[in-house]
Structure formats: C-alpha cells, structure tokens
Amino acid sequence: MTTRRSIQSDASTKYGTGKGMPAERELELKAEMRKLELTRVVEAPRQHVFKAWTDPGQVSQWWGPNGFTNPVCEINARPRGAIRIHMRAPDGVVYPMEGIYREVIEPERLVFSSSALDKEGRPLFEVLTTVTFAEQGERTSLKLNARVTRATNAAAPYLDGMEQGWTQSLERLDAHLSKK
C-alpha cells in the first residue's frame, strides 16, 4: 500500500530553530555547485530501502562518509517531522545538521530540507534533498537529487565534498542493506 504525505514550505526558512541565514553571509554559488544527482541500484526490496532511510536505528548505521559515526540520529519521517544528525568524523570533530521532512510518500519518495550548522548553531548552507525509490524486481533503483538553496561563504569547502560524501553514504547504505 502506498501512503502519500506532503508539505509545501519556503526553502529560505531555517527549520527547527527559527534562526535565519544572514543575507550578507550568503555565497553566490556556481551552477555546478547547486545541484547533485546520483542514481544507484540497491540489492534490496524497495520497502527495506525506504525503511533504511526512515528508521533512525538504521540511518545511524550508514549516514555520512566512510569512517563517520552518528552519535545523534533523530528522525521523525512525516511532513514537518524533524531530522537531526550529528556526524562524528574519525578525528572526533562533530558536524551537526538538522532539517525537516517536507514530503513522505511511503515507499516511493522522501523530500527533506537540511542545514549543516556552524559552531554557534547557525546554518552554513541549506539543501533540498529528494530521494525516490523505484522497484526493480527484488532490487531498488534509488535516485537522489540534492539542490543547495542557500549557502554562506564558509560553506564552500563542505559543498566541494558533497558529491563524495553522498556517494560514500550510498555505498554504506548498500553495505548495510546487504547484511539484512
């Protein structure tokens, strides 16, 4: 059975804390830095893949680049539900992010906005991420689109690593699902 849930909201709003991104700190992004699209075929049924994206216990196992852990992983996968993940790098540095789900269509689609936060809890950049899940027999074709909606000057190094980070996260997702 397919459940459809969605929400429309302003991408320029800082979700969860009410703190906005100061306009004078915004970075003018090149077109190639603004969008990322990745497609991957996962060796698991669509329902399992969708659950791996919406169950905090599973997300904490695969989210982030290689070597990262997630000591905080709070997910409420429903429209207006919060997402909060703190990624800990191998060197111990913690990279917090938070956001909100805009659309949840089980098991077909997730749309969420997220912001990486600086040391003061202010957003460095905001990304609108859409993940679709298509059945391919017992496998799932996963398509991820991430679009940067706002960014500060301090965001540039993080955005440079966005493709590598998502690629490694999806590889970790695949490995996580292959254990099930």
Distance CA 22, CA 45 (A): 43
The pLDDT assigned to 31 comes to: 43
Q: Give me the percent of the chain exceeding a pLDDT of 70.
A: 81
B/e letters for 35-59, b = 16+ CB within 10 Å, e = fewer, are: ebeeebebebbbebbbbbbbebebb
Total structural domains within the chain: 1
Give the structural domain span for 136: 43-178
Confidence of residue 19 (pLDDT cuts 50, 70, 90): very low
Q: Is residue 142 part of a domain?
A: yes
Does the pLDDT value for residue 26 go beyond 60? no
Arithmetic mean of pLDDT over the chain? 86
What CATH number did the domain enclosing 107 receive? 3.30.530.20
Q: pLDDT at residue 17 above 90?
A: no
- Give domain status of residue 20, yes or no: no
- Give me the mean pLDDT over the 55-67 stretch: 98
Q: What confidence score (pLDDT) does residue 34 get? A: 81
Query: Which tens digits make up the pLDDT trace of 124-133?
Result: 999 999 999 9
Which tens digit of pLDDT belongs to each residue from 79-122?
A: 999 999 999 999 999 999 999 999 999 999 999 999 999 999 99
The CA-atom distances, in angstroms, between 161 and each of 49, 152, 167 are 24, 15, 10
33 in a structural domain: no
**Who's near 174: CB < 8 A, 6+ residues apart?**
40, 42, 43
Residue range 1-14: average pLDDT?
36
- Residue 9: inside a domain: no
Q: What pLDDT score was predicted for residue 33? A: 54
21 vs 98, more confident: 98
The answer, as to whether pTM is greater than 0.85, is no
Residue 14 located in a structural domain = no
Per the domain annotation, does 139 fall within a domain? yes
17 falls within a domain: no
11 within domain boundaries = no
User: Residue 91 has what pLDDT?
Assistant: 98
User: Rounded mean pLDDT of 5-23?
Assistant: 37
